[in-house]
Amino acid sequence: MVASRAIGSLSRFSAFRILRSRGCICRSFTTSSALLTRTHINYGVKGDVAVIRINSPNSKVNTLNKEVQSEFIEVMNEIWANDQIRSAVLISSKPGCFVAGADINMLSSCTTPQEATRISQEGQRMFEKLEKSPKPVVAAISGSCLGGGLELAIACQYRIATKDRKTVLGVPEVLLGILPGAGGTQRLPKMVGVPAAFDMMLTGRNIRADRAKKMGLVDQLVEPLGPGIKSPEERTIEYLEEVAVNFAKGLADRKVSAKQSKGLVEKLTTYAMTVPFVRQQVYKTVEEKVKKQTKGLYPAPLKIIDAVKAGLEQGSDAGYLAESQKFGELALTKESKALMGLYNGQVLCKKNKFGAPQKNVQQLAILGAGLMGAGIAQVSVDKGLKTLLKDTTVTGLGRGQQQVFKGLNDKVKKKALTSFERDSIFSNLIGQLDYKGFEKADMVIEAVFEDLGVKHKV
């Protein structure tokens, strides 16, 4: 979300050789020593398409920090200046993550709203330059594409995503007490429509790839590949890259178009939003709903509405200015600091400070099939653990098993699981009224009714 000023002049390539792969011509470059200093972003060239790879070292995810953005600007300047490159593909080398968002630690050093506003404005300028790129840029998305990562993707001319469970898109900034500050409040309404954009930004919910395609957030889907010589994740990323490179080449050759035709509903919604009265009614309805749900305790949702409204009513310049100013105002509020502190605490709790266990748990036993016991059983079977669920009555056991099945079935309804995957996961659960098999369990969890006598008996 933050952009640093591009450093240095264009680097020169010391040598290149032509390689033929699958019948197409690919260029492999030997880079100068200046390029080798980049640690987060690098690129190679396939034919006349630059493939930009994001891969932050020593991290499971890619995030946008000052170093990443400085390197990104440097790479894009080289690509724009190279006449042999006619288009580009932006892809992550990390399985399961495109860009997880901006590094919120950048805001911790801000002491005034003006400093945070400048961070937003730098991000806006970087993505505006990307949006107006003279060479088409295709975002190849696999895994989480959130916050600043989504703002990066929607600034590209085309988006291709893998259709799998790990690929989700969203703008969760509202959950941190801030707003999308690198153009998200201005581009999203134009891309998916005002109602859908409000829903995304005000809830912070993740959107699956198939849903994103229907909304117009993603232009094309790629089915994931199964196992082969390489892992499914590696094969899928390679296939995604191949599809994206071919499409980027087609865009440069003007053989394909990045413009997508809208359906009747989208056309009607777009037309309706051109009517001032309709827009005012939408603003009013959304504001009333936000005030009812937040009780006026969270300023970010209303600031998001104001930023969107400024862009729609006063034009893009006013919209981007409102976005950056309101981002600066929100970044230093007590609400955002509390929510960011909560987020950092959750991340810290996920880290295992006790080291690797002496023995991995493969079979789990749970005493009590109530709300707590069934909940533990559900997350355990979902992780592939064979789970024994014991209760004292058939009724209680049945209720617990039904709770586990319902939780999994809800995922099927949301298309997060297939019915086959649901049944396969549920088969890990064994309900019983005795202690048979408990002696083989690697771990036993007590979750019986909150009665001291019962607990002592157990």
pLDDT, tens digit, 9 for 90 and up, residues 121-152 = 999 999 999 999 999 999 999 999 999 999 99
User: Which residue(s) pair with 367 in the sheet?
Assistant: 390, 446
Same domain, 332 and 385: no
Q: Judge if 60 and 119 occupy the same domain.
A: yes
Q: Tell me how many domains the chain contains.
A: 2
Spatial CA neighbour of 369 closest among 458, 449, 452: 449
Q: Of 267, 301, 336, which marks where a domain is finished?
A: 336
Q: DSSP labels for 321-356?
A: HHHHHHHHHHHTSHHHHHHHHHHHHHHHHHS-TT-S
Residue-wise pLDDT for 84-120, tens only, equals 999 999 999 998 899 999 888 888 888 899 999 999 9
User: Are 441 and 323 found together in one domain?
Assistant: no
The DSSP line for 2-66 is ------SSPPPEEEEEEEEETTEEEEEEEEPTTGGG-SSEEEEEETTEEEEEE--TT-SS--B-H
Stretch 252-276: mean pLDDT: 80
378, 431: one domain: yes
Task: Provide the pLDDT for residue 261.
Answer: 72
Q: Rounded mean pLDDT of 349-371?
A: 83
More confident: 19 or 4:
4
The region of weakest confidence among 156-165, 188-197, 294-303, 343-352 is 343-352
- Average pLDDT along the chain: 86
Catalytic (active-site) positions: 151, 173
Q: Are residues 420 and 278 in the same domain?
A: no
Tell me: do 263 and 390 sit in the same domain: no
Same domain, 412 and 264: no
Indicate the pLDDT class of residue 415, thresholds 50, 70 and 90: confident
Range of the domain at 397: 363-457
State the Rg of the chain over Cα. 25
Which CATH number do you get for residue 420?
3.40.50.720
Residue 386 forms part of a structural domain: yes
Regarding whether 38 and 185 lie in a shared domain, the answer is yes
Give me the CATH number covering residue 287: 3.90.226.10
- Does residue 447 sit in helix, strand or coil? coil
Same domain, 306 and 379: no
Phi, psi of 303 (to 5 degrees): -65, -35
| Pair 94, 142 in one domain | yes
Considering 321, 336, 351, which residue would you say is the last residue of a domain?
336
Look at residues 336, 371, 392 and tell me which one is the last residue of a structural domain. 336
